[in-house]
Chains A and B, each alone.
Chain A
């Protein structure tokens, strides 16, 4: 006789749990949306307020200004200059170095530990790489500034001690564990039956890894790369400490560079609230936000397409 009662009670509990899960998922979206609104609101005067637009508007931010110095970021000089292109260039070139350095290393390590290394070696390597993720970025930045910079300078024969290569490599150290962990997960979750079917047809371990396991894990591996890219683009402390922070409009990797994120970190603390400079910093923030958001959406779409192509329509 008490069966119906427990039924309703468990159904009620189920409903409550479902509601809770839905609420927590929803709150994440609401949080993201509110952040976007807040940053966007502070960036908006660049487009709307006449006072701000006199000092800083889209054309001043992106187009070349005077002949001698077409792109300068000098927000606190007598006549402030707010060209943010050098910051974009700085961010992109350091991110590029980081990604080119970190992704091949991380993927190579993941392929090695998932396909070729004996079990005990994987148990040794994996925790060490994952430990790298636990190092605070300020420590990595300090290391890059005090120790690594001299070696990098000597190795590449660079004039400036702090430069985009140095910062990029330090950034890469922060990217490696992310890419490695996600890629290793993707590779190890490829079903054993794929490997055995491939080997049973006479493929070597290398051929199996390259022709079967890697393509099967490709969606996860791309997701790993996107995560790594996002981390590199948003990382602040390492580039602030290791890049020299000069806003130079140049793709030369041997020169110092200044990133978007480091600019916000360095300047937002001292800027006059409501000034043109203040709004430009928020504009930089919203640009970063939109850029990573679009990148993620695109990657998501691409990965889903790839998954469908690899695994079929079911």
Chain B
């Protein structure tokens, strides 16, 4: 028990097939902060996020060691409440993953699973989630349409809103803007800056500039190793490691 708010990751290692996917990574993010995670393809960013909300349980053959605490309580143990953890630590995937349901049913999915079925209440939650995701204007009069009818950028914001319906304490985003145009990207970034007030956010991104724009602190992962973890401004202006400097200036490889 550390008794702290937010998410603490201590010496987290993940192995698969005798290979290290993550090597003793220690990170921390508190409510009110955005933690940016950057790193080239295959450096273990997705693996880390999936481990944090226990979705990695679905992958066979992963060996996880280390400690992760949510508000001071361990979340990696066998006896941890996995369903509760997944609801408190929401995850948005790199590609939009609308369920084959209406927009309304997509948004209501999480709350309904959790036992909230009153339409009035669902609508109220929906309005605030959709507004937070900058999607309310575009969909408030077409909630009963299939979610698949939305554009890619709208779908991704819907997935963000859907995760917000869970009222998570930690929001994990895995390259949420990878397939989006600059306008949708800007909308999501705006949304995150506001959402930060209510929760801790972990933003994995391929786009170094995005991390510098929105993250309070940034971690640089390289082939499973945490190379550098510092306040964003510090990491971008005075990187301590040569590899970090090479990566953020685009001279990598």
Contacts and interface: CB of A to CB of B under 8 A. Distances in A.
Interface string A275-291: 00000000000000000
Nearest to B166: A201
A294 to B, nearest CB: 29
Nearest to A195: B58
A35 interface: no
Interface string A191-212: 0011111111111100100011
Interface string A303-314: 000000111111
B149 A193 contact: no
Given A200-B53, A201-B109, A212 B84 contact: no
Contact of B83 (A194, A196, A202, A211): A202
Interface of B: 53, 55, 58, 83-84, 86-87, 90-91, 93, 95, 97-101, 109-110, 113-114, 145-149, 159, 162-163, 166
Nearest to A204: B83
Contacts of A312: 100, 145-149
Given A202-B84, A202-B114, A197 B149 contact: no
Residue picked from A200, A311, A313, most chain B C-beta under 10 Å: A200
Given A196-B58, A212-B99, A310-B100, A201 B163 contact: yes
Contacts of A200: 53, 55, 86, 90-91, 93, 163
Given A309-B146, A312-B147, A312-B148, A193 B100 contact: no
A216 interface: yes
A212 B101 CA distance: 9
Nearest to A191: B97
A215 interface: yes
Given A197-B93, A199-B55, 12 more contacts: A194-B99, A195-B58, A196-B58, A200-B55, A201-B86, A201-B110, A202-B114, A203-B113, A215-B101, A309-B146, A310-B146, A312-B147
Contact of B97 (A197, A216, A313): A197
B149 A314 contact: yes
Contacts of B114: 202
8 tightest CB-CB pairs across the interface, nearest first? A312-B148, A312-B146, A202-B87, A197-B97, A201-B110, A202-B86, A193-B97, A200-B91
Contacts of B162: 201
Nearest to B91: A200
Contacts of A212: 99
A202 B97 contact: no
Contacts of B83: 202-204
A311 B83 CA distance: 27
Nearest to A309: B146
B170 to A, nearest CB: 13
Contacts of A199: 55, 58, 86
B42 to A, nearest CB: 20
A311 B55 CA distance: 25
A212 B100 CA distance: 8
Interface size class of A (residues with CB under 8 A): 20 to 34
Contacts of B148: 311-312, 314
A198 B86 CA distance: 10
Interface string A178-196: 0000000000000001111
A198 B97 CA distance: 9
A202 B166 contact: yes
A194 B97 contact: yes
Interface string A108-133: 00000000000000000000000000
Contact of A196 (B84, B93, B166): B93
A199, A212, A310, A311, most chain B CB atoms within 10 A: A199
Most buried by A among B91, B99, B101, B113: B99
Interface in A204-240: 204, 207, 211-212, 215-216
A207 B99 CA distance: 14
Nearest to A196: B55
A309 B166 CA distance: 26
A215 B110 CA distance: 17
Contacts of A203: 83, 109, 113
A314 B147 CA distance: 11
Contacts of A207: 113
Contact of B87 (A194, A201, A215): A201
Contacts of B113: 201-203, 207, 211
A252 B117 CA distance: 44
Given A200-B91, A201-B113, A216 B100 contact: yes
Given A199-B55, A200-B86, A200-B91, A313 B149 contact: yes
A309 B109 CA distance: 18
A195 B148 CA distance: 16
A278 to B, nearest CB: 52
